[in-house]
């Protein structure tokens, strides 16, 4: 059987949430050997997300984890607790015999189907370019003779692993073998989440370049415009309740 791709998606309630998750489910349902771990940022799982997942025809696990309010400020890394909850679930429910690859799939990015076939062969930790990120058209690992030797980036070039969350995948056995590897809040600077996590489990020299030696963009760090609800009535006027 194929190694299963475990895609970890933190998500939070907002006007565009159902649209984002619909777009993701339309992509993910086309990927064989796929398991979607959706972690809601909140004190409980919502009906909206539960129903969407039930209808999605994507094998999934639905979790929740609350971000403490003090961490909800700007400049703070997002979704730390949610990603860690998903790692905890994998460590509790998967074992040495399970073949899989773990990937962090934010709810607003754009994923090609080819990306998943590239990451499926990840032995330890694999990397590839990400489009529309870091103030550039793309960021990418620089590859020489099949090895990662540095990073092409326009932002914080001092990052040991100058990649976005969407730019790497980790073999499930590496996650299980490093039970203390988690995303950190304490001491983590903006943009350092990826590096702080990756340095716990790998070294730059052993990264596996994917996407034709990191020369193809197969995932995009798209961001959805904040929706204008300026014309919403103050009090409900419609005669029916409609989920959007």
The footprint of ligand UDP (CB under 6 A) covers 9-12, 41, 67, 72, 78-79, 82, 106-108, 223
Q: Are 170 and 200 in contact (CB under 8 A)?
A: no
- Minimum CB separation of residue 165 from Mn ion in Å reads 9
Given Mn ion, ligand UDP, none, residue 137, with its beta carbon under 5 to 8 Å by kind, binds: none
Given Mn ion, ligand UDP, none, residue 10, with its beta carbon under 5 to 8 Å by kind, binds: ligand UDP
Integer angstrom CA distances of residue 211 from 193, 217, 238 = 23, 7, 49
- Minimum CB separation of residue 141 from ligand UDP in Å reads 19
Q: Which is nearer to ligand UDP, 24 or 127 (CB)?
A: 24
- Minimum CB separation of residue 139 from ligand UDP in Å reads 13
Among 20, 41, 106, 196, binds Mn ion (CB under 5 A): 106
Given Mn ion, ligand UDP, none, residue 12, with its beta carbon under 5 to 8 Å by kind, binds: ligand UDP
Q: Which is nearer to Mn ion, 98 or 108 (CB)?
A: 108
Q: Which of 47, 194, 205, 243 is catalytic?
A: 194
Q: Are 211 and 218 in contact (CB under 8 A)?
A: yes
Q: Which is nearer to ligand UDP, 41 or 208 (CB)?
A: 41
Q: Are 137 and 64 in contact (CB under 8 A)?
A: no
Site membership for Mn ion, residue 98 (CB under 5 A): no
194 is catalytic: yes
Given Mn ion, ligand UDP, none, residue 41, with its beta carbon under 5 to 8 Å by kind, binds: ligand UDP
Name the residues annotated as catalytic.
194
Chain positions contacting Mn ion, by CB under 5 A: 106, 108
């Amino acid at each position: 059987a194929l190694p299963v791709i475990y895609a970890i998606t933190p998500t939070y309630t907002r006007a565009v949430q159902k649209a984002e998750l619909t777009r993701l489910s339309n992509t993910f349902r086309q990927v064989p050997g796929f398991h979607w771990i959706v972690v809601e940022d909140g004190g409980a799982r919502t009906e909206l997300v539960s129903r969407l997942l039930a209808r999605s025809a994507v094998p999934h696990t639905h979790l929740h984890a609350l971000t403490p309010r003090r961490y909800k400020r700007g400049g703070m890394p997002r979704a730390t607790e949610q990603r860690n909850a998903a790692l905890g679930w994998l460590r509790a429910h998967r074992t040495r015999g399970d073949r899989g690859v773990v990937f962090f799939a934010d709810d607003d990015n754009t994923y090609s189907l080819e990306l998943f076939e590239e990451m499926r062969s990840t032995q330890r930790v694999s990397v590839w370019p990400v489009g529309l990120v870091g103030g550039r058209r793309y960021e990418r690992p620089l590859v020489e003779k099949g090895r990662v030797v540095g990073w092409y980036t326009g932002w914080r070039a001092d990052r040991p692993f100058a990649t976005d969350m969407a730019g790497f995948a980790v073999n499930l056995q590496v996650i299980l073998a490093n039970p203390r590897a988690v995303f950190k809040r304490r001491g983590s600077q903006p943009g350092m989440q990826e590096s702080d996590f990756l340095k716990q489990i790998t070294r730059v020299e052993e990264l596996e370049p994917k996407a034709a030696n990191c020369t193809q963009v197969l995932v995009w760090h798209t961001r959805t415009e904040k929706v204008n609800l300026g014309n919403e009535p103050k009090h409900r006027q419609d005669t029916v309740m409609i989920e959007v």
